[in-house]
Amino acid sequence: MKSIDRRTLLKAIAGLGGAGVIGSFFPFNVMALTGERRGIFEYPSFKINPFQLGVASGDPATDGFVIWTRLAPEPLAEHAGMNMVPIRVSWDVAEDPNFKKIVLSGKTVAAPELGHSVHVEVEGLKPNREYWYRFNCGGEKSLYGRSKTLPLAGSSVDKIKFAVAGCQSIEHGYYTAWNHIANEDLDFVFHYGDYIYEYKDHGIGPVPNRGQLWQEMRQTVGQEIYSIEDYRRRYALYKLDINLQRAHAAAPWFVSFDDHEIDNNWASDTDQDGSPAHIFQFRKAMAFQAYYENMPLRLSSLPMNNEIKLYRSAQYGNLLNAFILDTRQYRSDQVAGGSKALNKVKATFSDKRTMLGEAQEKWLFKGLENSDTKWNLLAQQVLIGHLSYGQDSAGQDLYGMDGWSGYLHSRRRLLNQIEKHGLGRTVIVSGDSHRHYACDLMQDNDDKVIASEFLATSITSGMDGSMQDDFTNTINQLNPHLKATVNKRGYTLCTVTPEYWQADLKIVDKVMTPDSPIQTYRSFVLEQGKAGMKQV
Ligand code: FE
Ligand code: CA
């Protein structure tokens, strides 16, 4: 059984009934989540349309993708206003947005155990084309979404376009940038994490924050989140945003979480407060479940046994291999908080410490070794550029301990592997820093450029920001391989062709007032086969 991966296994159980031997692998019967069950409410009636949280699609394959929704007529009420019974939901996939040519239809169940979320893994579609999907429940209709299947592996692909975004504290501003992402014509969106923030409601009214006076833009609900109902309600609050809903409906997404979906700066079985692992695991289980419920993920990402499998890959013909990574769940604990001089934190060099965990690292390294596409994309959470954030009184550079600079042995192993198997064709995208960074990547800031990183700024976290500030000046001075940085909100837009990779650092002027126009702060191009970015 060991040679079968979990996805195949789950598919076999879900689709075909599975053999008796499988029972011993799982603590519950997966059939019950996907197959028929008793007591299904076939024709529920709603006072309010239950599709208040929109629709989404994700994890495309060459013949399909996941379509997602969650029934929530009153999203912030107890049980989101739902009767706690399993409910019938039907769905359509069409070749046109008017649903004149419906190619697939089906029925599924929104289970109360899973917060009445719906995940359908659509199969049997044609490769490399757009589709539209919608849901129906008790005569109530959802809006429609657009998705896209992958091109066949090896087929020739001229161009793909995708956006990288995340860090969307709802208290910090409006999701103007998501609206602009929805207006781009994209093959996919990568969400690097911080989809929600777990903090308690900070309250209405101006409070000091990072030296800036700010007005809480939109009020979160309740205290810091711990229970499944807390997490569900927080997702519901965020997902009520129409700009976010538009971006979900516009393109398939690959999602991976960072820290705030669970707890600030958590690592593996450790939370930021040092709670015992067996206690933190209860919170993690709640957070993982709510994440699964609210994202367009496949059954292979169903949380079980203290794990949610989020690292996975997708191939865009002969053009791109995309590796979606998880830098939170398997990492060693941070050696220290904040920024530190490396001579004070020798443990960052230890080969015992890991950013990806053994299994994920093996999988990624094998993937890079076998990749024969023009480009590789590593889509992950935290800064890999080894950037000095300042200097201590002894003139030593200070590095962030939550990013790859706090895991320097892992970083070296990764860059070694890229140098061997992906030199001149590997680009890393990331997030978490709440500002744009474009930088070339070298071993411990040696001279040889091995790969390049575009770290996408936040959608809202950090509020309006500014074009110039002291920190920007400092890091520009200290880091010659840093090509651009700016403390504004927005996203990164990547256009990939066989010849070049262009990254546009998109910014909006304001997020504390709605409807700012979008502009490009800087654009960079990489030529296929040549390491290092150039500004255009
Ligand atoms: Fe963040
Ligand atoms: Ca973060």
- Would you state the pLDDT for residue 205? 65
Ligand nearest to the CA of 172: 1
Q: Using the mean position of ligand 2's atoms as its centre, give its distance from the Cα of residue 221 in Å.
A: 20
- Would you state the pLDDT for residue 16? 34
- Would you state the pLDDT for residue 201? 86
Residue 485 has pLDDT above 70, yes or no: yes
Q: Using the mean position of ligand 2's atoms as its centre, give its distance from the Cα of residue 116 in Å.
A: 28
Residue 8 has pLDDT above 90, yes or no: no
Residue 57's contacts (CB-CB under 8 Å, 6 or more residues apart) are 65, 66, 67, 68, 133, 145, 146, 147, 248, 251, 252, 253, 296
CA geometry: angle 76, 81, 85, nearest 5 deg: 135
Coil, helix or strand at residue 446: coil
Q: Is 196 exposed, middle or buried (0-12, 13-18, 19+ CB in 10 A)?
A: buried
Which of the 8 DSSP states describes residue 250?
H
Ligand nearest to the CA of 267: 2
- pLDDT confidence band for 445 (50 / 70 / 90): confident
- Would you state the pLDDT for residue 232? 98
Residue 416 has pLDDT above 90, yes or no: yes
Q: Using the mean position of ligand 1's atoms as its centre, give its distance from the Cα of residue 524 in Å.
A: 24
For residue 63, give the nearest of 187, 160, 154, 152 by alpha carbon.
152
The whole-angstrom distance between residue 461's C-alpha and the CA centroid of its chain comes to 15
Kindly give the interhelix angle for 228-239 and 277-294, rounded to the nearest 10 degrees. Answer: 40
Q: Decide if domain 6-535 falls under CATH 3.60.21.70.
A: yes
- Would you state the pLDDT for residue 104? 98
Average confidence (pLDDT) over 398-408? 97
Q: Using the mean position of ligand 1's atoms as its centre, give its distance from the Cα of residue 382 in Å.
A: 10
Residue 204 has pLDDT above 90, yes or no: no
Tell me, yes or no, if the pTM score tops 0.85.
Answer: yes
Residues less than 5 Å from ion ligand 1, measured at CB: 167, 194, 461
Contact 505, 522 (CB under 8 A): yes
Query: Cα torsion at 426, 388, 437, 523 (round to 10°)?
Result: -80
- pLDDT confidence band for 27 (50 / 70 / 90): very low
Q: Using the mean position of ligand 1's atoms as its centre, give its distance from the Cα of residue 264 in Å.
A: 9
Average pLDDT, the chain: 92
Residue 3 has pLDDT above 60, yes or no: no
Determine if residue 424 is left, alpha or beta; phi over 0 gives left, psi from -120 to 50 gives alpha, anything else beta.
left
Residue 33 has pLDDT above 60, yes or no: no
Q: Using the mean position of ligand 2's atoms as its centre, give its distance from the Cα of residue 405 in Å.
A: 15
- pLDDT confidence band for 221 (50 / 70 / 90): confident
- pLDDT confidence band for 242 (50 / 70 / 90): very high
DSSP sequence for 320-355 = EEEEE--SSTTPPPPSSSSEEEGGG-GGGG-TT--S
Ligand nearest to the CA of 458: 1
- Would you state the pLDDT for residue 65? 98
- Would you state the pLDDT for residue 369? 98
Ligand nearest to the CA of 272: 2
Between CA 348 and CA 346 the distance in angstroms is 5
- Would you state the pLDDT for residue 220? 86
- Would you state the pLDDT for residue 19? 32
Tokens of 437: 């960074």
Least confident of 210-214, 352-356, 418-422: 210-214
For residue 58, give the nearest of 196, 261, 251 by alpha carbon.
251
